[in-house]
Structure 1
């Protein structure tokens, strides 16, 4: 019984919009808007810290953390941080980085950490001849100095249980893994109803410092 490569859906915006339509999933998705200067200003006014990322992309490429700090702004791309005195200068620099590509803006989440490094989780869910099965539930700890956790950017792979224990507490392991599985099944049902033929899904989850689980994105070609 082989894994089903399945239908591909590259647009992060399309997948996010579908999941936001479900009342039980929507509270677990950070507020997300298309990238425009007005939306960026509004999101920074509301949340102070946001993440902007390409609508189509993988491996953490192009993902930028933007913060409003007093009268100025900063953005962090990999380990490089730039500071801007004006919003116009910030937008100009972001537009240079985007190179005309479509981006989305997502509320920044203050993730629980391991030794001061953010950790998130990847759940790989695959359709086989006998139905959907889990292929992996793992944690990814960011390389020191980075906010992205991608393994191709130097992130460290750990078991989900180890990651939850070290970033929250061992008492929360069972509950958090159950909730990620529950959201995975529910989200898969919603996505499959809209896009019949999908066969592989990689869910990127974060758990914030208060223990809330967030869905950052869903990949139809998970690495």
Structure 2
């Protein structure tokens, strides 16, 4: 098996192929194909709703939600939705409007909603001082009410995971869901690192459907650690950021200048 020492893998296709090798993780991955007219048509007939996205895109840019109705087809990018009376006319519009680069098509997951807005969970997994993978933090991301992606850079709102889950589950079951999400992120990072052992940080974006089944929507090998500052529990952000600094993924924290009281200054001998 070929492996790579790189710390960042941009290709969503390569990351998907890598984690599909793990039987535990494979069952959590929505069907994903390289997009062309044939594969998009086939996936739409199978699932009625799919997402298409750039193979190497970031921040949710270029992602489209594509749907097949009884007598129409549609796709939405950002806040704009286009409707067509045939698949060929829709596909030609997609080709004209998308960036000229490879795209993937992925089974659409009908995500749980919080106050009418879709959300997913970012699970941060980092290598610790012993080089072992460790789940260091989880945070919810709630989509902008008029957009299809949850990314913070596209208007997504960082939110406590428990706040998002409480309308659907409580007590011990809530804790079980949190453990399931944590394990899914951990297992995905570990599976990905078998092909790319140089990785040291993975942000797993995990969605829950209406049966509370987790789905690994995407893995980010250059995840933003600063988003965890939005959590009320500041110890989580401190841990995530300290690990990121130790792994040299973000700059070291600047030391604060020393402050002197008037009294301490008055006791110092004058410089001559």
TM norm. shorter chain > 0.5: yes
Report what 1:29 is aligned to.
Answer: 29
- Tell me the distance in 2 between the aligned counterparts of 1:14 and 1:97: 25
Once the two structures are TM-superposed, the CA of residue 102 in structure 1 deviates from its matched residue by 0.5
Q: How many residues align?
A: 217
Gaps in structure 2 of 5+ consecutive residues: 1-5, 225-272
Report what 2:94 is aligned to.
Answer: 94
Report what 1:38 is aligned to.
Answer: 38
TM-score (norm: length of structure 1): 0.93
Once the two structures are TM-superposed, the CA of residue 98 in structure 1 deviates from its matched residue by 2.4
Aligned-residue CA RMSD in angstroms? 1.3
- Tell me the distance in 2 between the aligned counterparts of 1:192 and 1:108: 26
Report what 2:116 is aligned to.
Answer: 116
Report what 2:209 is aligned to.
Answer: 208
SS in 2 for 1:21: coil
Report what 2:144 is aligned to.
Answer: 143
Report what 1:162 is aligned to.
Answer: 163
SS in 2 for 1:140: strand
Higher relative contact order (CA 8 A, sep 6+): 1
Report what 1:195 is aligned to.
Answer: 196
- Tell me the distance in 1 between the aligned counterparts of 2:142 and 2:99: 29
Gaps in structure 1 of 5+ consecutive residues: 1-5
Once the two structures are TM-superposed, the CA of residue 133 in structure 1 deviates from its matched residue by 3.1
Given that residues 202 and 221 in structure 2 are in contact (C-alpha distance below 8 angstroms), is that contact kept between their aligned partners in structure 1? yes
Given that residues 10 and 56 in structure 2 are in contact (C-alpha distance below 8 angstroms), is that contact kept between their aligned partners in structure 1? yes
Identify which range, 84-93 or 36-45, moves more after superposition.
84-93
Given that residues 40 and 105 in structure 2 are in contact (C-alpha distance below 8 angstroms), is that contact kept between their aligned partners in structure 1? yes
Once the two structures are TM-superposed, the CA of residue 185 in structure 1 deviates from its matched residue by 2.2
Larger proportion of strand: 1
Structure number with greater Rg is: 2
CA offset digits 1:86-120 (Å, max 9, x no partner): 21111111112223210100011111111111110
